[in-house]
Structure 1
Amino acid sequence: MAVQMQVAFSSIMRGAGIFAGGPYNCAQGKLNEALGSCMKAKPAPDVQSSISATESRAQDGSIDDPSNLASQKIFMFSGTQDTTVYPQVMEALYEYYNNYVSKSNIYFDNTVDAAHTQPTTNPQMNSCTRSYSPYVSYCEYDGAGNALSQIYGVLNPRNNGTLTGQMLEFDQSEFLSNPASKSIADTGYVYIPDSCMKNESCVLHIALHGCLQNYGSVNNEYIDNSGYNEWADTNNIVILYPQTIVSNVSPSNPNACWNWWGYNNNPSSYDTKSGYQMNMVYEMIQRMTSGLVTIPAPTNLVATSVTETSVSLQWSPVTGATGYYVQRDGATLNSVAVSTTSFTDSSVASGSSYEYTVTATDGQSISPPSSAVSVQTPGNPPPLSAPQNLQVTGVTATSVSLSWSAVSGADGYNVYRYDMKVNTDTVVGTSYADEGLQSLTRYVYDVTAVRGDEESSPSNVVEANTESSYVCTTTTASNYAHVQAGRAFVSVGKAFAVGSEQDMGLYNTAIITTLSETSPSYYVIGDCDQ
């Protein structure tokens, strides 16, 4: 959630601290992707797909321009014993950030012997190498302090005594109507240092708890013991602790996680600015940083007319609103707010499904979105176009990863290797990993879009060559020993590596050389990773 908040609202952020998380849009709105790729790295997260989603959403205005990230500071922490979110997932996030942020602005600590937990210096908390409730541990490592220092620079020493500030409760329903229906608690918390209560200039930091760290699951353990309040108290930092709740049905969120895989909203909009939880936190930020009064969400949104080429909407007026924005499937349709309480979308296609919401604005703040209304335009849907921009995003010895651009109106996609369909079930997203391949082999792919029994013409064709499955080994020995073992041969008093025939120097026991066997009976001078 922290990554998607930072990326979607990058224009108002200074940085982010990530404790075990994947790249933006990692789950692509699918639970199986969240549980596999984004937690266990099976397969590894598709970083290129995350970058493509970032760019396309920035272009349609559903998230801020990612160029805002360039000057921001990033802190990343991945415990060496984290078996919930594997270190490879954080490595994918590091690769994603490198596309937008200078490496000098990223601090990635993956050296601490820690499980999936919030690392602290509090000896009263759990053992660092165990991951259990409240998922806050004594690691002799100040995760909160290191994150805050990376984002905000040099800080005053933390307050290790009695805190001077106040922990206040607030009503989260002011920022999201019917919060329980979105797996949001009625009550949130905010720590305000005494200096900030006295109207000194302060900054706002949002601390998003992890799964099963919400107040309903662990009471105030995360809020009081994660380490943020001690640093906030002496550095004029207000800490906002928004809260989720367990929801077993509608939506299904039994661990009270933040919505990072799409259990709320259309799967293509939950991690955009119009996502229910995303917009809620944004409205909290607006309230606390500018003193703006949040206006309520529009109500009674209905479709008054649906034709093959248009959808007309109407809603009730909002007191104090100066205009309204209309969203279709998460993307805002009007760049300029409309002053009336009706809107006609004339950019729809026949025989297609759409989901609409409306937000109100008073010229300064934007309300949470209204309840969604779904429509189906009459008539036959337009023919499916072929997928565009098919590309190879990753290659191993046994797999090829692909991604492509979404096709409007498609239910899913088929992937073909040498004109043979390789997917058993329709591919719902815009990426696919073809596994179980032969090493050192050339493969050719194309993709089609499908809708019911209809299938589009094929995409552009791409080629990929799988890598070698051979495991490189390294041996350091004298030139004499290399020759005796068959790794080198002698010519005119000198030793040469078998295969590469690289000159190793004189053939004797005094000269020591490192040889790496990069393929069967092929040796090069140096280590395997050189």
Structure 2
Amino acid sequence: MADTCTVYILKSNMGELESWVTVDAESMYLLPSQQSNFLITINVPSNAGDHDYALFLQFKAKPKHSDYVHFDGNTQWIIVDNSAPQTPTFTVSPTSYTVFVNNWSSYDIRSASYTIYNHSSGINGIKSYTIALKKTDNTPVGSPLTKLAADNNYYTFSQLSANTGYKVSVTATDLAGNVTTKEIATSTPPAPPSSLTFSNITYISATLSWAASAGATGYNVYKKVNGQPSVLVNNSPVNGTSYTINNLEPNTSYTFF
């Protein structure tokens, strides 16, 4: 039977981190060409400050009939991160029935060094973002959405109510689980007016009427002709629900909105 070899992990060489480390077995017997793994658990003390701690790993082997053999050591870095990320930045763009949240971003100085070399873990030290919407009375609207930092950084909340106040929040979570949240208040504008009708049509004028839109304090009327860009017709917002358009060209097709 082939001689066995005893392999040891040298906890005493780990320096100040020795007390943090638990190893499933500090030595194991191996046959020639056999492979195995040591399971190392690192228990970071709750009072450990933000710092990059060096963990020196070294092994030695004792063949059954010869002296100890030491292997080259390897240093692993333990990044302790107790600090919250920077407050997220993002933009909010409402329409009558949607709120578009765009370009959220944050940064965590402690975790960032890890994501530089481990791209799959996050970006700029941030693991994920959680986007949430609620009404002004803090009633949630739908469920929060969590996206990895590597995902696209935009989202549209849809099927909302027109002329309504909302609060949008973005929470950044770093690799250590620390979080920072920013909230922006916004309001959807009134719904576009409905039931547009024409009356009093002459060869140079027409009156456009519409149903009032809740929350609207004024209206603008635009016209398009022959595929040209739209043009604002009124000089100041219309307070009522009708407007007479003059100076039209006879025998011409117009689009009004």
- Which bracket does the TM-score occupy, shorter chain normalised? 0.3 to 0.5
Q: Normalising by the residue count of structure 1, what TM-score does the alignment of the two structures yield?
A: 0.20
Report which structure shows greater RCO (CA 8 Å, sep ≥6): 2
What is the TM-score when the length of structure 2 is the normalising length?
0.38
**Higher strand share goes to which structure?**
2
Higher helix share: 1
